[in-house]
Chain A
């Protein structure tokens, strides 16, 4: 296997005091592909993402991003937070541009970039609203736009579509497929929806309950080149959804 991996997780353990969250977790994330992490609630998906982001230290083991061991956050990675993490006192446009603001991009430039992504996530007209004036799904899209606007090579997305409505969610899934296809970026995508994972992923990692490890890696192949509209009717798509459900069902008592 000479495949180029953007991110490699090697024998990572993570304990929170007595709690073992990750135990000997190893996983490769091929460059330019989307990998989904699918696993029961509390199994350590957010923990793994934060370790890759450099926000949390691993208890042992290492994470390599673009050939370098991760010690701290870097401009090569952007994070979409499960709890959105918006600044309540800042307008939508300042929130979206905040990553660029921290990188020292001048105001006019960062706001024009932010403007584009605000449009992309469907929040045009809300530039000057404040987070408390938005619905949960709209807030989530602000966090999404903020991560997209810094143009990082690796996107760490922690349940990025969990709060948006089904129509928007489907549109975002299609947008995501196009992003993966057109830009050579690596996506690490946490979701609780099996269908969503199978629909958008090049690779799906099924995680065991805590302490978490990878139990199975599934790589859908045949429907990847199909038209987005026919994926959901593809027989391999349906088979994989079924197979994942059978395998995850054992954890749900």
Chain B
């Protein structure tokens, strides 16, 4: 049973990369190299150390932005979920943030915060935070009333109700929001590097495109996806560690 998901993951990776290889070889476009060429470029970027230098740059706004989005996003989400007044006050900001075209906001961010790390962290947060906040608040609001009532009947204090009932009950949806938020944060980090100042992985992408070195460009994109998948797996491990038992399924009665 344990091995089936891994097996399926390998199968789907093989199919995806196989299609990439075939697509690249059949010559859809000279700007779309096959998987194997991209991997060769990927390897040489690693050997040269270019990849590591690039990630030393890219990870800064990404990690800072995701940590801020995660901590602040979950805290705000809980607060919104608990208080109708706060919901009325704060939720619209995140709904607008989620719907706003980021490309249009970037010039404003540059004007306000310059072209440094701050603006890039902002871009990551704008991408990552709304889905984290909105998922968390929805989960908190939908905590079954019967178990909240039960905790109160046995003299649970408000803090007990939050930490022993609401948070564990909401954790699957909070983590689903975190996963979506982290994925969006990765996109945000690259977008920031493409739109604000070309540094890190964004620089590899725009530079190799400008000299028509498409395998290197795809290698850079591939590396981001790889890192995102890795990160999401770590997140899943964390969820299982923090809230083991929550994946035990829900009973309706």
Contact = CB atoms under 8 A, between A and B. Distances in A.
Contacts of A139: 251, 253
Given A55-B152, A89-B168, A83 B249 contact: no
Nearest to B148: A85
B245 A75 contact: no
Contacts of B157: 102
A87 B251 contact: no
Given A81-B146, A89-B245, A130-B248, A98 B154 contact: yes
Interface in A95-129: 98-99, 101-103
Contacts of A79: 150, 153-154
Interface residues of B, number: 24
A139 B246 CA distance: 17
Interface string A42-79: 00000000100111000000000000000001110111
Given A87-B147, A90-B245, A130-B245, A73 B152 contact: yes
Given A86-B251, A88-B251, A132-B249, A73 B154 contact: yes
A223 interface: no
Contacts of B86: none
Contact of A88 (B155, B164, B248): B248
A253 B135 CA distance: 48
Contacts of B149: 50, 55, 81, 85
A55 to B, nearest CB: 6
A87 to B, nearest CB: 6
Given A89-B168, A89-B243, A90-B245, A131 B251 contact: yes
A83 B146 contact: yes
Tell me the interface secondary structure of chain A in the complex.
Answer: loop
Given A83-B146, A87-B147, A87-B168, A53 B153 contact: yes
Given A55-B149, A87-B165, A89-B168, A150 B154 contact: yes
A79 to B, nearest CB: 4
Contacts of A132: 248-251
A84 interface: yes
B72 interface: no
A231 B218 CA distance: 84
B162 interface: no
Contacts of A89: 168-169, 243, 245-246, 248
Interface string B30-56: 000000000000000000000000000
Nearest to A82: B146
Contacts of A50: 149
Contacts of A53: 153
A91 interface: yes
Nearest to B171: A89
A202 B219 CA distance: 80
9 contacts: A73-B154, A77-B153, A79-B154, A81-B146, A83-B146, A89-B168, A98-B151, A102-B164, A136-B253
The 3 closest A-B pairs by CB, nearest first: A85-B150, A99-B154, A79-B153
Given A90-B245, A130-B249, 13 more contacts: A50-B149, A55-B149, A55-B153, A73-B155, A74-B155, A77-B153, A78-B154, A85-B146, A89-B169, A102-B154, A103-B155, A132-B248, A132-B251
